[in-house]
Structure 1
Amino acid sequence: NCINKDPNNANFWCSIGILYYAIGQFHDSLDAYSRAIRLNPYLWEVWYDLGVLYEACGDEEQQFKDAIDAFTQADRLRPGYAAIEYKLKQLSGQQVDLNKNLPKWLEPELPFQQTPQQNPLPQPQAQFPLEQPLVQ
């Protein structure tokens, strides 16, 4: 409904990209992020989310380069943000300083447990414990 009322709202398209990502529809997610960027290329959140998408689909070297490019653009728009710096260092193979004040959801020892307000992009590969095996 929001898109029908305001199809030129980049924030709406970013939210749609997040929803598509969450259900594993990566091509649709990419389309939504691309549209958000065309509408407003100055939203660092869209660039960050695009970087996470490329990283998640990173089975080719080009996708990792695209992820780095997206995180670099996010860093230009929001310099000094720990989550972006962490991703850039992680993808470029640099040693990550875990003593730096990183958001809790970036600490590798902790499971991913955040609300949408705290985390710009949910992880689609949630793992749920099974009470009984699926195949016996």
Structure 2
Amino acid sequence: MDTTETPDTYASQLQALLDNRMASGQRLAEAAATKRAAQAALEDADRDYSAAFTAALGAGWTDRELRTVFRSVGQPAPVVRRLRATSGRRRTGGAHATTEAPGQPPGHQGRNVHAGEPASDDPA
């Protein structure tokens, strides 16, 4: 054992190792922040591209024309969501909907509407 070694020598060697580790951790944190910013920019660009594509459709271009042109230059057309018309009907009730006798507590004289089964105390 070298007699010139002191606790300060060990501490400085450990600190050098720790400094290297901290520097690599700092580089990793900076890369993560850069990636997060790039992903946000890409999401913004995708929204802008989709909006411009939709505007081009509204200006008279067909979906097929735009997809053909942009595919030829290596840029896929965005997925444009279209709203579907609804029938206006609302679904109510469910598999367990029952009809209740007036003045009776729920479930007392009810009949399972969907299954056509009488309640347990119903004589039918």
Structure-2-length-normalised TM-score = 0.22
The structure with more radius of gyration? 2
Structure-1-length-normalised TM-score = 0.20
The structure with the largest strand share of the pair is 2
Which one scores higher on RCO, CA 8 angstroms, separation ≥ 6? 1
